[in-house]
Amino acid sequence: MIQDEVLTGFAYFPESGDPQYLVHPRDEETGMQYSLLAMIHAIINDLFTPEQAKAHIELIRGHLLAPDGARLFDRPSRYQGGPQTYFQRAESSSFFGREIGIMYTHAHLRYAEAMARYGDAEAFFLAVCQANPIAIRSVVPNAAWRQANCYYSSSDAVFPDRYEASERYLEVIAGRVPVEGGWRVYSSGPGIASRLIHRCLLGFEQRKSALIIDPVIPQSLSRLEADLVLADRPVTVIYRIAERGYGPSELTLNGIPLDFEREANPYRTGGARVKMSDVADRLREHENRLVVSLG
């Protein structure tokens, strides 16, 4: 699925002859050349080598990022108003929003997860902020006013029709077109966002016999404090962040160092795996303090 060092979005394998690559620089059919989902899921699931991951992140930055976040493809599918070919709903829907507008918040949050897995703390935190409607205009200057206590399914560029959207799409990438929040109070998306904040930003995943601590936090948030519950006990977590913003170098619970094993990660220094029994033994009934020092 990697051709010319670029992961293809889709591939058609005929009964005879060479495969046909779609949403790839070789693609001469769809008008699209880069696919976000293929790249970010390869990073999240450790399918790339470190060199491949770095190269594909550069492709994402060069072709798939806009001021409001990561987009599914480098341009929308063609709107023909007639027979459908490859991307059926995207080729027939008149409304330029959600997947058809190619800024789908679910996919953007998976991009954020990929940045956390790779270890780009600044890109990860920016992506989380871009999905948060609170003070959105301070992060996305071309965002239209929107309700601040909702999760939005997409960021929809404001065009009167698909024809103008196709002609002026580069203005969306440049941030010269207003973007509105799509469907709000959306069902499954807030769970993805909450998981990112809990497991990737704050970095806590509690398993049956182990506590995984693997935060990815930009240095600007050093001394961040978070109140959590671990093993049914209240814990205040204090983060001490060096330049990289990932890879715990030291863990101290109530003044006592915690032993840990290093989690595997092909792209960066991995998280810490602590025995849950060691955590439980050191927890008090009230006022626990866990200091997490990051590289």
Instruction: Give the CA radius of gyration of the chain.
Output: 21
Residue (of 76, 36, 43) closest to 59 by Cα position = 36
Query: Residue written as tokens 């990929």?
Result: 114
pLDDT at 79: 80
**pTM of the model as a whole:** 0.94
The confidence score (pLDDT) of residue 106 equals: 93
The pLDDT score that the predictor gives to residue 95 is 82
- Compute how many other C-beta atoms are within 10 angstroms of the C-beta atom of residue 78: 17
- Condensed to tens digits (0 to 9), the pLDDT of residues 151-170 reads 899 999 999 988 899 899 99
Q: What distance, in Å, lies between the first and last C-alpha atoms of the chain? A: 35
Quick one: the chain helix, strand, coil %, rounded to 5?
A: 30, 25, 45
pLDDT single digits (tens) 193-235 = 999 999 999 999 999 899 999 999 999 999 999 999 999 999 9
Strand partners, 155: 181
pLDDT at residue 122, rounded to an integer: 97
User: What's the pLDDT score for residue 154?
Assistant: 93
What residues in the chain have per-residue pLDDT under 50? none
295 three-state secondary structure: coil
Which structure tokens are listed for 36?
């976000």
288, β-bridge pairs: 235
pLDDT the model gives residue 91: 79
Partners of 129 in the beta sheet?
A: none
Q: Identify the structural domains of the chain with CATH numbers, from first to last.
A: 2-190 (no CATH), 204-294 (2.60.420.10)
